[in-house]
Chain A
Amino acid sequence: MKAQLRTRVTTGIGIFYLSSILFFLYAPILVMAAMSFNASEFYQLPFQFSTQWYERMWENEAILSAAWRSIWIAIVTTVFATALGTAASVALWRYDFPGKRILQVLLFPPIAIPWLITGTAMLIFFFGVGIGRGTPAVILGHVALALPYVIVVVTARLATFDRTLEEAARSLGARPWMVTRRVMLPWIAPGVIAGALFAFAVSFDQFVISYFLSEPGDSTLPVLIYTAIRKGFTPEINAISTIIIAVSMVVMLTAARFTKFGGEK
């Protein structure tokens, strides 16, 4: 009885603690969402409901075009990073060759070096070779950043792949391409989808690299938001931010459900 009570009390404390953390994590986001519906331009309380910031945002050409640019850059990044990353993971997983360890270690710089350093280095190099600033430079940078994430996620999924399945397929007469298409790809699909989502998130969320590489009139949404904040807050930023957060959460939740369904068994 006593032990049971103690377990209950500790579990209670644990859940209370966890709730406080969740409050800390979500409170500012909720405040931001609330403020996007507040009439006051200077976030004055008491709260007065209004949708005017959404309407204004909808007419703000700069915000809308930056948002679209961010989305399509993220899509292009996702396609490239997922394709190249999946191919590389399969090769790293399947083949043994001298220098493999080095290749694996080389995946870490984009993750482990502060983006400030990578970003400024890209700026210098792209200027030097004539690529310059602008959307192509941004995509080059985003794909490079997203690649290691895709490789890590897909490799993790590959690690759960039973190599004897491949051997079984070959013993049944399947050529390498058939083995890949019919046996391995179906198995790693959830990992590839998760990797693609990571790539999208990395690109869409990416500020530092975009900041150094995008052209002033041609910025992505995070860069635009940064500039707006430094020039003085405008509640339209709240509106677009709320939309971004809502959309990314919905996407992530569906993705979480979807990837769960894909496998495990």
Chain B
Amino acid sequence: MSGGINIARTDKLRAFALLSPAYLWLTLAVFLPLSAMAFFSFLTEVPFGDAEWSVTLTNYSAFFESSTFSRLLLKSVMLGVKVTALCVLIGFPCAWVLAKMIKGRAREALFLMVILPFWSNSLVRIFSWAIVLRGNGVLDKFVNAIWPWDVKVNLLFSEWAIVIGLVHSYLPYVILTSYLALQAIDDSLIEAARSLGAKWWTILWRIVLPLSAPGLLAGAVLVFVPVVGSFMEPRILGGRMGTYYGTLIEDQFVAVFNWPLGAALSFILLAVVLIILAVASPILKRAQT
């Protein structure tokens, strides 16, 4: 208890003791695997057993030589753009209604309802869309019940089905982040703008959007990144239509077993994702201040 204890040193030891388990775990399960994958992407063969292997760039050159790969990457990126745009267009107004138009307990309850599907299994949700969208399915029956003419609604195994399913899965992200950003905007700012004579679109454009941009963008990134790499949703809802960059990578690992090629394709995807994050990060940083 008496003097002589070096306070700063014991602090360092405590910090180390508290931090190292978590970061060791992350190293073992994330950082080392990513490094291993980087290494693999330059190999000719999987270096297990007594396989012959050497270092090569062919896995990367394969991507640039065949237009199939880049076409699929573009298709995945476009899918990401479509889904993200739809999520933002649908989700932001929804967050606005929640944050600024509804008050008190009703808001809490509604907010909870919006994010609740989030915690139900994503696979199960995608599967339920398959039931709804298939020919002779629920949507088909529903439309035919209210529509006087006979139509065939069979959206399953189309790009539409994939987009709907993905929007459904990721919409809560955008609503959640936009809601948090909008809630942080002091009502008095909007009142001040109104007292100065601003119309609602001016308020939206000059005040609300700039202030909530970081939150909105964070939501968009949270949607875009997983959608670009999605493979389960295209497989279930797209059927034969559903070949994307994600399914291509999946095939390398579970069907074709060309792991080095799969690793290279994964790293190209990672590069695309990192570029997008880098572009978004200056605006995202603003959210922290």
Summed over the interface, the residue pairs from A and B with CB atoms below 8 Å come to a total of 241
B269 close to A (CB within 8 Å): yes
Which B residue's beta carbon lies closest to that of A221? B121
Which residues from chain A contact B97 at a C-beta distance below 8 Å? 14-15, 17-18
- Knowing A32-B127, A85-B22, A225-B127, say if A117 contacts B117 (CB, 8 Å): no
Given contacts A35-B131, A45-B141, A256-B112, contact A18 B117 (CB under 8 A): no
CA distance A52 to B63 in the complex (A): 50
Interface residues of A in 76-90 (CB under 8 A from B): 80, 84-85, 87-88, 90
Q: A124-B259, A144-B26, A237-B127 are in contact. Are A112 and B273 (CB under 8 A)?
A: yes
Contact A222 to B141, CB < 8 A, known contacts A91-B14, A144-B30 = no
Residue of B nearest to A130 (CB): B48
Are B48 and A147 touching (Cβ within 8 A)?
A: no
- Any B CB within 8 A of the CB of A10: yes
Instruction: Specify which of A31, A120, A248, A253 is in contact with B37 (CB 8 Å cutoff).
Output: A120
A-side interface mostly: helix
Residue of A at shortest CB range from B112? Answer: A256
B94 at the interface (CB under 8 A from A): yes
Known: A87-B22, A109-B34, A143-B29. A222 touches B123 (CB 8 A): yes
A132 to chain B, nearest CB (A): 11
State the Cβ distance, A17 to closest chain B Cβ, in Å: 6
From residue 43 to 99 of chain A, which have CB atoms closer than 8 A to chain B?
A: 43-45, 80, 84-85, 87-88, 90-92, 94-95, 97
Contact: A249 with B120, CB < 8 Å?
A: yes
**Are B121's CB and A109's CB within 8 A?**
no
A31-B128, A84-B21, A97-B12 as given contacts; A112 in contact with B225, CB under 8 Å: yes
A114/B21 in contact, CB under 8 A:
no
- Nearest Cβ in chain A — how far from B228, in angstroms? 7
What B residues does A94 contact at CB under 8 A?
15
Give the Cβ gap from B125 to chain A, nearest Cβ, in Å: 7
Q: Find out whether the CB atom of A14 lies under 8 angstroms from the CB atom of B30.
A: no
Question: Is B124's CB within 8 Å of the partner chain A?
Answer: yes
Count class of interface residues, chain B:
35 or more
Check if B157 is an interface residue, CB within 8 A of chain A. no
Q: Using A112-B273, A225-B123 as known contacts, say yes or no to A252 and B116 having CB atoms under 8 A apart.
A: yes
Q: Can you list 25 residue pairs at the A/B interface with Cβ under 8 Å?
A: A14-B96, A14-B97, A17-B94, A25-B168, A29-B120, A31-B131, A31-B132, A32-B128, A45-B141, A87-B18, A88-B21, A91-B18, A97-B15, A113-B273, A114-B230, A116-B230, A120-B262, A125-B32, A140-B25, A205-B122, A222-B121, A233-B131, A241-B121, A241-B127, A244-B124
The 7 closest A-B pairs by CB, nearest first: A114-B229, A144-B29, A125-B33, A91-B18, A32-B128, A88-B22, A121-B33
| Apart from A22-B114, A35-B131, A208-B232: 4 A-B pairs, beta carbons within 8 A | A10-B101, A116-B266, A117-B267, A140-B29
Interface residues of A (CB under 8 A from B): 10-11, 14-15, 17-18, 21-22, 24-29, 31-32, 35, 43-45, 80, 84-85, 87-88, 90-92, 94-95, 97, 103, 106-107, 109-110, 112-118, 120-128, 140-141, 143-144, 147, 151, 176, 201, 204-205, 207-208, 211-212, 221-222, 225-226, 229-230, 233, 237-238, 241, 244-245, 248-249, 251-253, 256
**Residues of B near any A CB (own CB < 8 A):** 11-12, 14-15, 18-19, 21-23, 25-26, 28-34, 36-37, 40, 47-48, 90, 93-94, 96-98, 101-102, 110, 112-114, 116-117, 119-125, 127-132, 134, 136-138, 141, 168, 171-172, 175, 221, 225-226, 228-232, 235-236, 246, 249-250, 253-254, 259, 262-263, 266-267, 269-270, 273, 277
